[in-house]
Structure 1
């Protein structure tokens, strides 16, 4: 506990001033940490007190909303201060929340007509009342359309059929930060799915393709078999669907970070983020909060190709970054590559659930992307935790990496990480199960 508090203090008080946690060696299985990569400065990282954005700068050149900015205030800041800040700059407060654990107050503010975020940020940063200000960066779901392959090969490829029948992820709470999930889909156990809508605040969010597909990969229990069908799934809608056919969805800094905070408030043991975006200070801080409180954070490595820069939060320290393979263990051609890749899982032409054309109807399709692979790794993490709830996030990562089927260059490589996950081998390698055997 004392070590955790010291690490938390390092984030809040020191990382923006150049501090960082120790970097792992890439020649050995990574002990729960992925490397942080450099980027350009963010406006507001020289502020006193807490010191501004966590863990170093971000990339203000990444895609972001032209008429929105995010302002982050210290814990306990009075409403009058944030209101006066907005009023003095002619900004309108759209939404707000308190970041779980750190109690930072996060505001989404709209810039008046005729203004833009690039000219407003220097003025807002110079004001001094906010801890930091930043653009409202854009995020996307990481999937792609694809042709079908026969059968549901993914579970066979990762040897899920060799798991004990009782290994179903029971008792483990998994948070899925994504687009809306069709809770009543015939391949989902609706009693195990809790819906939260951060976009429209609806009691029943709209059923959307990407979120439903990932939910079925993690916890499917019907025609689509998920790896952890007994897990408790908190489906947090932080994304809005842009294309129902492919499931392409979009979000922003405010909603993604709020999704992570909501997952922490609800005591999730695992967070699945089949999403990607820039090295964003706000999302980075929320993710670090999750990692340092022992939550297992699993994210998609990206679908922008082998020459693309790292995708976040997958490339962030402490996150398990997942790439995608096909039914013959070949790397997905569109996958990002880099030292931050931890493991691979099936993600090419994967059968998954999707909402039907009529309200309440169920349908299915084949999907491709590192998003889908991330769902299988999340399911495996739930199974391992269910078998031994005392396992830490570092334990889970080490078990997955050391039990993976090595692909590509020997040991860890920038394409496959430590290799494609093997569910049966990972289960047998867990301390409790291994000792029992």
Structure 2
């Protein structure tokens, strides 16, 4: 009897002892709360699959993304097998993702976390994060919203010989959703594989906040409010009224890569958008979304992130916008000053951010959908306007030296960038 008690006690100690694979903040949360939503990260990441896609040759973009998805699904099936089996045996609620080879588990107990961490293929178990949207800043004057269209010469780009207003391009947003009945957006919503709501599984685009409708209007709204009113749009509701669960953001990243019906079924990678805009984030130097971004880049989907609304101090650039793998966008005023709220660089690690100021990527991709991320970025940077007004210096780079950590490469000029693309830059 004494021997059995000793064995039971030792087993209890083993289950409660923190594994070096369990993040310390998660261990603390489990101790105080008893359970937590967790993310299971595997030793085998997605880099080999991504590299194979970059080096491969494909008959079409759709075939390329289909091959990417198949490779990532095979990786997830193999590396997640034992974790999935364990979770099923415990009747745990979980979601498996192929986009980043991770598993999200709801209300995991300390015992379940330790069992997961004990598996040799598991690299880490950490707590799920909550991210936040960048709230629109109320206007300080009565200037019409359309001033930005003229400021970046988007209207002039529409009428260039060989120019366009975004026809043939599909843009996506990950945000609070979109009100599809809005008069400026109702005519160019792509209903086929065009909407996903990880929160409520709603059948058609909705927006309980208004933020996502605002950002989509800036991108593709008609009536003079959007940069690319000729583009079609799709969206995924990655954020609720003011916050975004990490799981929803990852699901949206997966949807953008290979869109599905609104219930998540019938994926069709031929329907992937040309670019994706994100106005959410938090923290600095974070890498949790890198695998999703890498998949987008492999799929020729241009990733764009708001730099954040944490200004006016230097070194306030938020993640994922501070990643070197995305176009990070800041904001200016009608008078060409940097907006007081716009986050500034340098990024953690010293990278120059933002990449540029207000954006017009759909017009370039409409001209040539085969343009790579680097080509789009170079066209925007090399043709930006730099007659901007500030004496601020961040990270030791004067604001009249470009790129810098206040204005990036300058204010985007849609007409000049599109003209360069037309001429073969």
C-alpha distance in structure 2 between counterparts of 1:58 and 1:387, whole Å? 50
Q: Give the corresponding residue for 1:410.
A: 401
Q: Give the corresponding residue for 2:249.
A: 256
Residue 429 (str. 1) matches residue 420 (str. 2) = yes
C-alpha distance in structure 1 between counterparts of 2:24 and 2:355, whole Å? 25
The alpha-carbon deviation at position 187 of structure 1 amounts to 0.8
C-alpha distance in structure 1 between counterparts of 2:147 and 2:124, whole Å? 47
The alpha-carbon deviation at position 60 of structure 1 amounts to 8.3
Report SS of the residue matched to 1:133.
strand
Q: Give the corresponding residue for 1:167.
A: 164
Q: Given that residues 25 and 127 in structure 2 are in contact (C-alpha distance below 8 angstroms), is that contact kept between their aligned partners in structure 1?
A: no
The alpha-carbon deviation at position 298 of structure 1 amounts to 0.6
- Residues matched between the structures, number: 331
Residue 384 (str. 1) matches residue 390 (str. 2) = no
Query: Residues 59 and 315 of structure 1: is their aligned pair in 2 closer, same or farther, counting only changes over 3 Å?
Result: farther
Higher RCO (CA < 8 A, seq sep 6+): 1
Residue 394 (str. 1) matches residue 374 (str. 2) = yes
More strand by share: 1
Pick aligned residue for 2:273 from 268, 281, 284 = 268
TM-score relative to the length of structure 1:
0.68
More helix by share: 2
Q: Give the corresponding residue for 1:293.
A: 299
Q: CA RMSD in A?
A: 3.2
Deviation per CA, 1:190-211: give whole Å up to 9, x if none: 4434322122111124323011
Matches within 5 A, 1:259-408: 259-266=252-259, 267-278=272-283, 279-305=285-311, 306-338=313-345, 339-345=351-357, 373=358, 377=359, 380-406=360-386, 407=388, 408=399
Q: Given that residues 170 and 386 in structure 1 are in contact (C-alpha distance below 8 angstroms), is that contact kept between their aligned partners in structure 2?
A: yes
Deviation larger for 79-88 or 280-289: 79-88
Deviation larger for 204-213 or 418-427: 204-213
C-alpha distance in structure 1 between counterparts of 2:385 and 2:176, whole Å? 31
Report SS of the residue matched to 1:414.
coil
Q: Given that residues 86 and 109 in structure 1 are in contact (C-alpha distance below 8 angstroms), is that contact kept between their aligned partners in structure 2?
A: no
Matches within 5 A, 1:137-176: 137-147=129-139, 148-151=141-144, 152-165=146-159, 167-176=164-173
For structure 2, the 5+ residue unaligned runs are 1-18, 43-74, 260-271, 346-350, 389-398
Deviation per CA, 1:287-329: give whole Å up to 9, x if none: 1221233321110111112245441111113200111111011
Query: Residues 79 and 384 of structure 1: is their aligned pair in 2 closer, same or farther, counting only changes over 3 Å?
Result: closer
Residue 217 (str. 1) matches residue 238 (str. 2) = no
Deviation per CA, 1:256-302: give whole Å up to 9, x if none: 12211111113222111111124554421111221233321110111
Deviation per CA, 1:373-432: give whole Å up to 9, x if none: 4xxx1xx111101112222111100010011112332221111111111111111121xx
Q: Given that residues 322 and 344 in structure 1 are in contact (C-alpha distance below 8 angstroms), is that contact kept between their aligned partners in structure 2?
A: yes
